[in-house]
Amino acid sequence: MTEFIQLVLAGTANGCIYGLLALALVLIYRSTHIINFGQGEMAMFSTYICWSFLNAGMGYWLAVPLTLILAFAAGIAVQRVLIRPVQNAPELTIVIVTLGLYLFFNSLALWIYSGVPKPFPLPTGIRQASWQVGDIFIIPYHLFIFAVLITLMAALYLLFQRTKLGLGLRAAAAQPASSRLVGINVNWMLALGWGIAAAAGAIAGILSAPVVQLEPNFMATILIFSFASATLGGFDSPPGAVVGGIAIGNIVALGGRYIEFIGTQLDIVLALVVIVTVLLIRPAGLFGRQVVQRV
Amino acid sequence: MELLRSLDYRRNWFLPLLVVAGLVWLSARWVDYGAIPAVGDLIEPFAGMAALLSILAIATVVAAYLLRPVLDRGPQAERALRWVGYGLIVAFFAFMPLYVELIPHASMLKMTVAIQFMIVIVGLNLLTGFGGQISLGQGAFFAIGGYTLAIGFREWDLPWGWSLLIAPLIAGVLGFLIGIPALRFKGPYLALATLSLAVTITPLAKKFEEFTGGVQGVVMFGKLGVPFWQDNLDRFFYYTTALIALLVFILAANLRRGRFGRALVAIRDNEVAASAMGVNVALYKMTAFGIAGAFAGLAGALNGVVIQFVSPDQYSVLLSIRFLVGAVIGGIATINGAIIGGLFQQFVPDVTVSINKSAPDAIQAIILIVVMYTMRYGVAGFLQETWRYARSGLRLRKPGAGVTVVETVVVVEEEVVIVRQDGGGAG
Mark yes or no for CB contact A103/B321 under 8 Å. yes
Amino acid B31: pLDDT: 59
The residue ranges of every structural domain in chain A are 2-219
Please tell me the predicted confidence (pLDDT) of residue B36: 52
Q: Are residues B273 and B405 in the same domain?
A: no
More confident residue, B388 or B30: B388
With respect to residue B426, please indicate whether it lies within any of the assigned structural domains.
no
ipTM of the prediction: 0.82
Per-residue pLDDT of B242-262, as tens digits, reads 889 999 999 998 988 888 888
Per-run averaged pLDDT (10 residues), chain A, 295 residues = 84 89 88 85 92 88 92 93 84 86 89 85 79 81 89 90 89 86 89 91 90 84 88 86 90 81 75 83 78 63
Contacts of B197 in chain A (CB under 8 A): 272
Who among B272, B360, B376 is closest to A93 (CB)? Answer: B376
In a domain, B385, yes or no: yes
Q: What is the maximum alpha-carbon separation in chain B?
A: 73
Say which residue, A186 or B417, is predicted with more confidence.
A186
Q: How far is B302 from chain A (nearest CA, A)?
A: 27
* Of A96-110, B188-202, B394-408, highest mean pLDDT: A96-110
Q: Domain boundary residue among B313, B329, B357?
A: B357
| Radius of gyration over every alpha carbon of chain B, rounded to an integer in angstroms | 22
Please compute the mean of the pLDDT values over residues B265-284 and round it to a whole number: 84
B227 or A81, greater pLDDT? A81
Q: Say whether both B333 and B388 belong to one domain.
A: no
Question: Hey, are the CB atoms on B361 and A279 less than 8 Å from each other?
Answer: no
For residue B332, the distance in angstroms to the closest alpha carbon of chain A comes to 10
Please indicate, yes or no, whether residues B326 and B340 belong to a single structural domain of this protein.
yes
What one-letter code names the amino acid at B427? G
Determine, yes or no, domain membership for B109: yes
Instruction: Note whether B189 contacts A279, CB cutoff 8 Å.
Output: yes
Record: contact A92-B373, CB cut-off 8 A? no
Find, in chain B, the residue whose alpha carbon is nearest to that of A268: B200
B324 and A85: CB-CB below 8 Å? Answer: no
List, as one string, the DSSP characters of A43-64. Answer: HHHHHHHHHHHHHTT--HHHHH
Nearest to B44 by CA among B368, B379, B366, B351: B351
pLDDT > 70: percent of chain B: 81
Residue B54: predicted pLDDT = 80
Instruction: Select the residue of A104, A220, A265 nearest B317 (Cβ to Cβ).
Output: A220
Q: Are residues B180 and B260 in the same domain?
A: yes
Are residue B4 and residue B136 in the same domain, yes or no? no
- Please report the DSSP string for B57-73 in residue order: HHHHHHHHHHTHHHHTT
Query: What does the pLDDT average to over B357-385?
Result: 82
Beta pairing, strands A136-138 & B218-219: unpaired
B164-176 as b/e: b if 16+ CB within 10 A: bebbbebbbebbb
Number of domains in chain B: 2
Q: Do B203 and A231 touch (CB under 8 A)?
A: no
Cβ contacts (< 8 Å) between A82 and chain B: which residues? 369
Closest-CA residue in chain A for B135?
A92
Counting one residue from A and one from B, how many pairs have CB atoms under 8 Å apart? 135
Residue B370 inside a domain? The answer is: no
Question: Which residues does chain B have within 8 Å of residue A108's beta carbon, measured at their own beta carbons?
Answer: 358, 362
Q: Are residues B158 and B237 in the same domain?
A: yes
Residues B341 and B387 in one domain: no
Q: Give B3's contacts (C-beta < 8 A, 6+ positions apart).
A: B61, B62, B65
Give pLDDT tens digits for B53-106: 888 888 888 888 888 787 777 788 888 888 888 888 888 888 888 787 777 777
DSSP at A288:
P
In B, minimum Cα distance to A89 occurs at B426
Closest of B124, B116, B119 to residue B292, by C-alpha: B124
The pLDDT of residue B121 is: 92
Contacts of B78 (CB under 8 A, 6+ apart): B71, B408, B411
Q: Residue B76 has what pLDDT? A: 84
* Within-domain flag for B179: yes
CB-nearest partner of B203 from A37, A228, A266: A266
Residues from chain B contacting residue A282 (CB–CB below 8 Å): none
pLDDT digits (tens, 9 = 90+) for B119-148: 999 999 989 888 888 888 899 999 998 888
Report which of A37, A51, A22, A30 is spatially closest to residue A204, judged by C-alpha positions: A22
Nearest to B193 among A220, A268, A276 (CB): A276
- Judging contacts by C-beta atoms under 8 Å, the chain A residues touching residue B376 are 89, 93
The larger pLDDT score, comparing residue B394 to residue A212, is at: A212
Which pLDDT score is estimated for B8? 52
- Residue B75 belongs to a domain: yes
Q: How many Cβ atoms sit within 10 Å of the Cβ of residue B392?
A: 17
Domain membership of residue B368 (yes or no) is: no
Question: Do the beta carbons of residue A92 and residue A56 sit within 8 Å?
Answer: no
Rounded mean pLDDT of B293-317? 86
Residues B93 and B117 in one domain: no
B127 with B236, same domain? yes
> Which residues in chain B are closer than 8 Å to A269, comparing Cβ atoms?
200, 203-204
Query: What mean pLDDT is reported for chain B?
Result: 78
Q: Assess contact for B136 and B191: CB atoms under 8 A.
A: yes
Residues in chain A with CB shorter than 8 Å from the CB of B199 are 220-221, 224, 268, 272
Average pLDDT over every residue of B195-206: 81
Comparison of pLDDT for A102 and B314, the residue scoring more: A102
pLDDT at residue B5 tops 70: no
**CA B271 to mean position of chain CA atoms:** 26
Instruction: Determine the residue among B372, B374, B376 to mutate to test chain A binding: the one whose Cβ has the most chain A Cβ atoms within 10 Å.
Output: B372
Residue B408 has pLDDT above 70, yes or no: no
Residues B66 and B200 reside in one and the same domain: no
With H, G, I as helix, E, B as strand and everything else as coil, classify residue A214: strand
Candidates A21, A34, A36, A103, partner chain B, best to mutate (most B CBs within 10 A): A103
Q: Among residues B305, B327, B357, which one ends one of the domains?
A: B357
Chain B residue nearest residue A275, CA to CA: B193
Across B193-220, average pLDDT: 78
Residues of chain A with Cβ-Cβ distance to B181 below 8 Å are 276, 279-280
Min Cα–Cα distance to chain A from B400, Å: 40
Instruction: Decide if B408 is inside a domain.
Output: yes
Q: How far apart are CA A32 and CA A235, in angstroms?
A: 12
Q: Which residue of B has its CA nearest to A266?
A: B203
**Which residues of chain A have a CB within 8 Å of the CB of B41?**
none
Q: Domain range holding B91?
A: 1-102+375-421
| Segment B98-116 mean pLDDT | 81
For residues B199 and B261, membership in a common domain is answered with yes
| Same domain (yes/no): B123, B266 | yes
